[in-house]
Amino acid sequence: MSKFFSVLLVILTTLIPEAHAVDAPATFSIQGSGYGHGVGLSQMGARSMALNGKTSIEILQYYFKDIQIESVDDSKLVRINIGHLLSSAKISSATKDSLISVYSGDISDKTDVYPVSHGTSISLSILGSSVLIKTANGKAEPITHLNKIFTLRWSGTRNLAGPDAIVSVTHSGTTQKFRYGQIQVRTVKAVSGYRLEVTNTVRLADEYLWGVSEMPSYWPVAALEAQAIASRSYALSKAGIYKKACDCELYGGISDQSFIGYAKEIEKKYGAVWKETVTRTAGLTLTQAGLPITAYFSSSTGGKTESAVNAWGSNKAYTQIVDDPGSLDLALNPRFVSWSREVPQNVVATAFLLPDVVTLEILSRNESGTVAQIRATSSSGIQAVLRGEVFRSRTKIPSAWFDLVSVQN
């Protein structure tokens, strides 16, 4: 190489800026309004309308489009998941003179029955692909049983005569109490291996709805009635559709409706109010074309409700976008009229399935004001786009009514 070209190469090298990797921010600052997906009934809006003299019927007809409210037979039994993908659980009853009968398998004439007296702890775990049950009372040697499925019935229910019993189910650090139904435990094969699914089969009309906890029982009567009718409609739309993944028709948590069992019925001072509300609205159901609708509801919005097609991409003719001023009432909704969150880098990156995220950009908004699409760009220039509601769900921010504020390095 000539001396001229060697000098030229040195000059050019010094003129080319050194490439620097773009640092990914540690957190993303987000501000917004509302709590939940915002589709269907706004619970805070219902509360506001009830306080302003609106009836439950007027509230429901405002939030749902082209629906009828009619009496439907809701006496059917529904299978509610009360323990999903568990590795262990415990069941017991401390009610004096109560009895739990453990059946090996599904209920049938040939099923083995193991009576369990009150005070006995029933431990559930997994052995291979089967459920392992251990029963122990005091210092007595535990008795073990092994099967793919176990069914538990307790006294004082329509399934087993005897003194009224309350059964406690403990798993994942929480305990729930159940007065009604029958519990079934089975193993299902999951990605991480075999896991336990625990369900309670209860009558929808009362045993289930009495235990649904989706609205404070001290709220105005019209709001409670609207919630009871919406909850009944939602459950009826799901009843009879078996989900293998949970061995259920309805999840007892956020995936469907919060079902806390007997705890709702015995709430101090107000428990009876919800029970009476369910009874007073017996059978009343939201329908369209003669069928119960999936009457979605959420806590509050950013000032307008959302449609199902915007939130999830699936059109539901009875959902619509309407003004929801009650959600923006600071006296009623002080925590979520305005909120802010710092979302960690790893959470945002995982949401977009990217190794990291350098920038976020809101591409478009829906008529409701929610984020329609949001784009992330990684340090290597890869981009990914999510629906606003998907981003909300994956990052666990309160709602899709949000703005991007800043990033923190």
Q: Which of 89-98, 272-281, 341-350 has the lowest mean pLDDT?
A: 89-98
Mean pLDDT of 270-284: 97
* SS3 assignment, position 357: coil
- Residue among 186, 181, 179 at smallest CA distance from 201: 181
Q: Flag whether pLDDT at 163 surpasses 70.
A: yes
The C-alpha atoms of residue 351 and residue 349 are separated, in whole angstroms, by: 5
The number of beta carbons lying within 10 Å of the beta carbon of residue 79 is 20
Q: Flag whether pLDDT at 97 surpasses 60.
A: yes
* SS3 assignment, position 205: helix
The pLDDT of residue 12: 35
Exposed, middle or buried, 138 (CB in 10 Å: 0-12/13-18/19+)? exposed
Dump pLDDT digits (tens) for 283-312: 999 999 999 999 999 999 999 999 999 999
The pLDDT of residue 408: 57
Q: Tokens at residue 131, please? A: 């459920």
Please state the φ and ψ torsions of residue 136, each to the nearest 5 degrees: -145, 140
The number of beta carbons lying within 10 Å of the beta carbon of residue 158 is 11
The alpha-helical segments, DSSP class H, found in 174-307 are 221-238, 262-265, 271-280
The C-alpha atoms of residue 105 and residue 187 are separated, in whole angstroms, by: 12
**What are the domain boundaries of the chain?**
27-36+334-408, 77-265
Q: Flag whether pLDDT at 86 surpasses 80.
A: yes
The alpha-helical segments, DSSP class H, found in 216-270 are 221-238, 262-265
Mean pLDDT of 74-101: 95
Mean pLDDT of 154-172: 95
User: Predicted confidence band at 407 (pLDDT cuts at 50, 70, 90)?
Assistant: low
Answer for the pair 402, 371: CB distance below 8 angstroms, yes or no. yes
The pLDDT of residue 119: 83
Mean pLDDT of 34-51: 98
Please state the φ and ψ torsions of residue 260, each to the nearest 5 degrees: -110, 5
pTM: 0.91
The pLDDT of residue 20: 43
Mean pLDDT of 355-379: 98
The number of beta carbons lying within 10 Å of the beta carbon of residue 254 is 8
Dump pLDDT digits (tens) for 205-229: 999 999 999 999 999 999 999 999 9
The C-alpha atoms of residue 177 and residue 172 are separated, in whole angstroms, by: 15
DSSP for residue 300? B
| DSSP secondary structure, 93-147, as one string | --STT-EEEEEESSS-TT--EEEEETT-EEEEEEETTEEEEEEE-TTSPPEEEEE
Which helix or strand (DSSP H or E) is residue 58 part of? Answer: helix 56-63
Q: Flag whether pLDDT at 179 surpasses 60.
A: yes
Dump pLDDT digits (tens) for 9-36: 333 333 434 334 578 999 999 999 999 9
Q: Flag whether pLDDT at 175 surpasses 70.
A: yes
Q: What is the rounded average pLDDT for all residues in the chain?
A: 92
- Residue among 75, 57, 61 at smallest CA distance from 283: 75
Exposed, middle or buried, 304 (CB in 10 Å: 0-12/13-18/19+)? buried
